[in-house]
Chains A and B, each alone.
Chain A
């Protein structure tokens, strides 16, 4: 390259950059002139913390949103921050569709509704029992970006709606935050509740050979009032079973535990046992469930193998003297195994015969392993009646007797 072209090039490049600057300026000016901004300033948003959806007998939706009230939140400096406690306001909106109901709420407040920090979605049972309403709900959740898939999904008895926002909320001041906190703690420590994110509900409801579940919230009368005069508490035990996107019925805490064991969702749970010989509490951990589904003469043969470890938390033996330590260990294990087996059998039969819902997803397992057979035999029939529980083997072993000296027993 000779020097004249070098200088020529540099001149050309200068022009090009000038041109780009002009383009930039044009863009900015056009942005200014035509209001090409779609942002919302943080001060103009209303953060929802929990949402309740209801459908009345006339087919109208009612939505209640718990919106965080930030008017007293201070300016971020520490001295004012320390006195600040979050408050919330509850807003109700009605409409023929969910979108309309929510629009009617946003019409009432002076800020833009901001739903992606929503923690909890609660649906009343009368809405959940309406298949069409649930389908509308799922459709609304998928379509609208501002309401995301993270919140926990619960079903509540519609008679308890009034009480819901007057319940005891622990150390939090918002129901959404409270439920979120409880769920996160209980997911690790207790298997008596089922906690499902909206996303999982949506995926399960679309899955072939699987029915969705949701959490269950029930309001119970508290024994004593708290300082704010709140008389009610939330119970998270149990689960809500669906079939084909329609709410069937609630299941109990034991069923929830069985559900968690069967799906390998259990992290840790306490089992309490009391019979004539002993009284014991054990922590069930490391649960590993294997479900084998086979086709056998037109029926779905199911074998379930569960293994797990027990950590004894409390043990009291009434006639201690006759039992050697090993024998005792086996006996405790057997008793717990029997207990778990009964629990699981009860749940399986309840789900199959009473609720008529495949919440464990036996059909899905069958379809994965043998799609041709599933399509031929089960796809177009209500295969629940064809399910045969062939064997349920439970193998629990005591891994830990606590910190006590083992030789005591």
Chain B
């Protein structure tokens, strides 16, 4: 639910046709996720750890790089929360206070394992859907459709595709299936689950992005730190409350914590894979979180560069493609070795 906070689709897309972009990014999202889904579907009962039994040096390096990508992404999430909270919600609370609170919540969340994480996420996604639907409904009297009318300023083919790929990479979530393949119930259809999640994503995107643009305009919205928050501030509740934008924070914030939690859990899986050892959840996640906290201090001066959404998208794109290559490399290598074996036995 990254889109909920920073709305990459609005920020990256400034000027391009937003409706085309939504669907195009969705297509790219499916394309980017397809190999991972395929991989997860074929290795249902095994996680990445078991699939890469004969782990080689190249894969180790690649996984390590992916680990750094993950760490960077958690760092970005956390920094965005801090930046936003400091600017709009709780300016009085020191930065470390917010960081501590966010990371402890994320730690508690991921500590309990994937099962709990999945169950919790279902609940939060429902709350989130409810809240965005409520805001969309109450915003109807103020919507100005003319602000949505397409502006083709930069809508050439290349620009649109570039934006769509970047947006898609920010939103890719299929990696979780690769790392927690072993935890998926056998009866569950992965494809159907994926289609459901994509549909929810699309609904979210439409009822978040379009009303925001219609209320804030496509020039003003990209300038804001959190366009959706500013949008939510404008919604009136028929004189009963001045505004109820807090609901958007209450619904969106746990989702970011979930994202941080999931990512740290993936990080833990990767560490397990690299060192070929089942480690305890708590220790690894704690180390992961500590690294982030230290890096927060270290990269203070580069924050503007690191938090740039385009930069983030590019890094994630590289990290993601890396992961897909690894997955397929292993997959093909395994298949090949299987074939060799069969051939060998047949020969003898």
Contacts and interface: CB of A to CB of B under 8 A. Distances in A.
B90 interface: yes
A371 interface: yes
Contact of B219 (A16, A149, A203, A375): A203
B92 A148 contact: no
B223 to A, nearest CB: 7
A368 B146 CA distance: 9
Interface residues of B, number: 30
A300 interface: no
Given A149-B233, A149-B234, A368-B151, A202 B220 contact: yes
Given A117-B242, A371-B152, A39 B92 contact: yes
Interface stretch (B45-53, B61-69, B100-108): B100-108
B234 A150 contact: yes
Interface in A194-210: 199, 202-203, 206-208
B151 A27 contact: no
Nearest to B216: A203
B153 A203 contact: no
B234 A206 contact: no
A34 B100 CA distance: 13
Contacts of A364: 146
Contacts of B146: 364, 368
Q: Which of B87, B97, B234 has the largest count of A CB atoms less than 10 A from its CB? A: B97
B35 interface: no
B106 to A, nearest CB: 13
Interface string A113-151: 000110000000000000000000000001001001110
B88 interface: yes
A20 interface: yes
A25 to B, nearest CB: 12
Contact of A20 (B94, B108, B224, B242): B108
User: What DSSP secondary structure best describes chain B's contact surface?
Assistant: helix
Contacts of A16: 111
B120 interface: no
Contacts of A203: 147, 216-217, 219-220
A89 interface: no
A333 B233 CA distance: 44
A229 interface: no
B230 interface: yes
Interface in B43-98: 87-88, 90-94, 97
A34 B87 contact: no
Nearest to B92: A38
A108 interface: no
* 10 smallest beta-carbon distances between A and B, as pairs: A38-B92, A203-B217, A206-B219, A36-B97, A371-B152, A368-B149, A38-B93, A145-B88, A203-B220, A38-B90
Interface of B: 87-88, 90-94, 97, 100-101, 104, 108, 111, 146-147, 149-153, 216-217, 219-220, 223-224, 230, 233-234, 242
